[in-house]
């Protein structure tokens, strides 16, 4: 499946499950942030490498990182963002940047 197809499928699934009935951009960004917090909590608890309760063939870290990406794909699909093109362009730009982009961290 291409990334464009995954964007369309992820958004269609979230829409059909009612997650776009009253949502706004701020709520969607907070949900992405919530997923970031969930993976951070696994790191904090030392459970990131343990099997996921929902998809045990993957770790908690893998599940939560996937949730972050899926929420981003859903948002991109809803807003018509040219995410794949933007990612490719940004990656190409990043390849031209100096070590640590001139920062200490």
pLDDT tens string 40-80: 999 999 999 999 999 999 999 999 999 999 999 999 999 99
> What pLDDT, on a 0 to 100 scale, did the predictor assign at position 25?
93
Q: Where are the domains of the chain?
A: 3-96
Q: What percent of the chain has pLDDT over 90?
A: 89
Instruction: Report the distance separating Cα 96 and Cα 7, nearest Å.
Output: 28
The helix/strand/coil state of 65 is: helix
Instruction: Report the distance separating Cα 63 and Cα 48, nearest Å.
Output: 9
Q: What angle do CA 86, 83, 92 make, to 5 degrees?
A: 25
pTM over 0.95: no
- List 59's β-bridge partners, or say none: 51
Instruction: Report the distance separating Cα 28 and Cα 90, nearest Å.
Output: 22
> What pLDDT, on a 0 to 100 scale, did the predictor assign at position 60?
98
Q: What is the CATH number of domain 3-96?
A: 1.10.287
């Amino acid at each position: 499946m291409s990334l464009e197809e995954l964007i369309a499928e992820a958004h269609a699934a979230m829409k059909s499950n009612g997650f776009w009935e009253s949502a706004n951009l701020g709520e969607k960004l907070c949900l992405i942030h919530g997923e970031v917090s969930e993976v951070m909590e696994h790191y904090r608890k030392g459970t990131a490498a343990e099997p996921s309760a929902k998809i045990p063939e993957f770790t908690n870290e893998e599940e939560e990182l996937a949730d972050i990406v899926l929420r981003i794909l859903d948002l991109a699909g809803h807003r018509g963002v040219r995410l794949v093109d933007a990612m490719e362009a940004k990656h190409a730009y990043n390849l031209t940047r100096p070590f640590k982009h001139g920062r200490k961290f």
